[in-house]
Chains A and B, each alone.
Chain A
Amino acid sequence: MTDHSKEKQTSEIIKTWVNLYSDSLFSWALHKTSDREVAEDLVQETFLAALQSYHRFEGNSQPKTWLMAILKNKILDHYRSNFKKPVAFENSFLDGIFTEDENWNPKEIPQHWADDAHEIMDQDELKLILSKCLKKLPLQWKTAIQLKYFEEKSGDEICQELDVTPTNFWQVIHRSKLQLRKCLEVNWFNKVA
């Protein structure tokens, strides 16, 4: 078989896979990134990568499993680059929370939420507010939360995958939680109390 016809055959196989599996891959990517545009790009990149490295595909694994493994790597790359993105207003945000001598700014002192906070956690409205608060986080902070809570990875694993130091990582988690806490307090707990 000539190289040309071989190439054509490979691209026909990949096209069949697009028809069969792109919806599953897209659903997964969307679930992980919560961003339609990003999810579409990742799935497209996955199939292009599959086309290029088709010669490494071994017939003994399922095409879907192989594609999923490529996609998972792409998602991880995506997290990695998001985490490296600088956050513009980082310092001014933290300055407002604590005073110069590092006490809570009187306006920012954490208020007692609700005595039944555990019971109200299942309420749909609270979940909705949490989603909104998550969306407001800078990309880097949101990525840290996604990795820790949604990917259920340990701190050490995350640091290894992102190639960052533990201190770097927990400081980002800290900032995210300061903001999430405040967002929930303003939008939920102060309103129900």
Chain B
Amino acid sequence: MNRILKKLVFSCKKASELIDKESVFPLTWAENIQLKVHTSLCKACLEYEKQGHLLDELLDRHHLESNQDEVPQVENQDLKVKIISKL
């Protein structure tokens, strides 16, 4: 099965690349079709695709939370002294 799949569509390695490429750049028409066919036949890559979407969401939220309200203010007296001594 895997051998036929690879001839028809392409390898899991290539499919996983396209899955992540899609999160940054639009796929070409042909890439899109190939990926859809591949994930409809390959459970592992379908799972990888789902996990990729979860990862996107997690990373987006991770940022929102650290950015809520404003950036937390940190005092750094030593740095002040150090910079002033260099001016």
Which residue numbers of A lie inside 8 Å of B, CB to CB?
11, 14-15, 18-19, 22-24, 26-28, 30-31, 40, 43-44, 47-48, 51, 98, 101-104, 109-113, 117-118, 121-122, 126-127, 130-131, 145, 148-150, 152, 155-156, 166, 169-171, 173-174, 177-178, 180-181, 184-185
In the assembled complex, the CB of B50 is this many whole angstroms from the nearest CB of chain A, namely: 8
Partner among B12, B65, B71 whose Cβ is within 8 Å of the Cβ of A127: B65
A23 to B23, alpha carbons, bound, how many Å? 36
Majority SS at the chain A contact face = helix
Bound: A185/B52 CA distance, A = 12
Verify A15–B79 contact, CB threshold 8 A.
no
Contacts of B13 in A (CB 8 A): 98, 102-103
- Give the one of B57, B60, B65, B87 with max A CB within 10 A: B87
Query: Can you report 20 residue pairs joining A to B where beta carbons are below 8 Å apart?
Result: A22-B79, A22-B80, A23-B73, A27-B73, A31-B66, A40-B82, A101-B11, A102-B6, A102-B14, A103-B13, A109-B44, A112-B47, A118-B54, A121-B58, A130-B58, A166-B25, A169-B24, A170-B21, A174-B17, A174-B21
